[in-house]
Amino acid sequence: MSTVAALNKASPLDALQRWLPKLVLAPSMLIVLVGFYGYIFWTLLISFTNSSFMPSYKWVGLTQYAKLMENDRWWVASKNLAVFGGLFIGISLLVGVLLAILLDQRIRREGFIRTVYLYPMALSMIVTGTAWKWLLNPGLGLDKMLRDWGWEGFRMDWLVDPDRVVYCLVIAAVWQASGFVMALFLAGLRGVDQSIIRAAQVDGASLPTIYLRIVLPSLRPVFFSALMILAHIAIKSFDLVAAMTAGGPGYSSDLPAMFMYSFTFSRGQMGMGSASAILMLGAILSILVPYLYSELRNKRHD
Partner 1 sequence: MNAINRLAAVVALASLLPLSALAEGPGTVEVTHWWTSGGEKAAVDTLKKQIEADGFIWKDNAVAGGGGAAAMTVLKSRAVAGNPPAAAQVKGPDIQDWGSLGLLTELDDVSKANNWDGLLPKKVAEIMKYDGHYVAVPVNIHRVNWLWINPQVFEKAGASVPTTLDELFVAADKLKAAGFIPLAHGGQPWQDSTVFEDLVLSILGPKGYHAAFVDLDEATLTGAQMIEVFKTLQRLGTYMDPNRAGRDWNIAAAEVINGKAGMQIMGDWAKSEWTAAKKVAGKDYTCVPFPGTQGSFAYNIDSLVMFKLKDANDIKAQNDLAKVALEPKFQTVFNQNKGSLPVRQDMDMSQFDACTQKSAADFKEAEKGDGLQPSMAHNMATTLAVQGAIFDVVTNFLNDPKADPAKAVKQLNSAIKSAK
Q: Check residue 50 for interaction with partner 1 (CB under 8 A).
A: no
The answer to whether the CB of 167 falls within 8 A of the CB of 158 is: yes
Regarding 134 and contact with partner 1 (CB under 8 A), the answer is no
> 137 or 225, CB closer to partner 1?
137
How many binding residues for partner 1 (CB under 8 A)? 32
Least distance from C-beta 137 to partner 1, angstroms? 6
Q: CB–CB of 142/98 below 8 Å?
A: no
Q: CA 103, CA 100: separation in Å to the nearest integer? A: 5
Contact between 268 and partner 1 by CB under 8 A: the answer reads yes
139 binds partner 1 (CB under 8 A): yes
Among 60, 142, 160, 229, which residue sits at the site for partner 1 (rule: CB under 8 A)? 160
Nearest to 224 by CA among 292, 272, 146, 167: 292
Alpha carbon 173 to its chain centroid, in Å, reads 10
Report the C-alpha gap between 100 and 97 in whole angstroms: 5
Q: Is 246 in the site for partner 1 (CB under 8 A)?
A: yes
Which among 42-50, 107-115, 203-211, 244-252 is the span making contact with partner 1, rule CB under 8 A? Answer: 244-252
Q: Are 121 and 209 in contact (CB under 8 A)?
A: no
Q: Is 78 in the site for partner 1 (CB under 8 A)?
A: no
List alpha helices for the chain, DSSP H: 2-31, 39-46, 63-70, 72-103, 110-118, 125-136, 142-148, 165-190, 194-202, 207-209, 220-235, 238-244, 256-261, 270-301
- Of 24-32, 84-92, 145-153, 261-269, which part binds partner 1 (CB under 8 A)? 261-269
Near partner 1 by CB under 8 A, which window of 109-117, 205-213, 249-257, 293-301? 249-257
Q: Is 265 near partner 1 (CB under 8 A)?
A: yes
Q: How far is the CB of 131 from partner 1 (least distance, A)?
A: 14
Q: Site map for partner 1, 2-41, x if CB under 8 A?
A: ----------------------------------------
The three-class DSSP label of residue 266 is: helix
Cβ–Cβ under 8 Å, residues 67 and 47: no
Residue 251 is a binding residue for partner 1 (CB under 8 A): yes
Whole-number Å distance between alpha carbons of 158 and 147: 16
Site for partner 1, rule CB under 8 A: 52-55, 67, 70-73, 133, 137-139, 157, 159-160, 162, 165, 245-246, 248-252, 262-263, 265-269
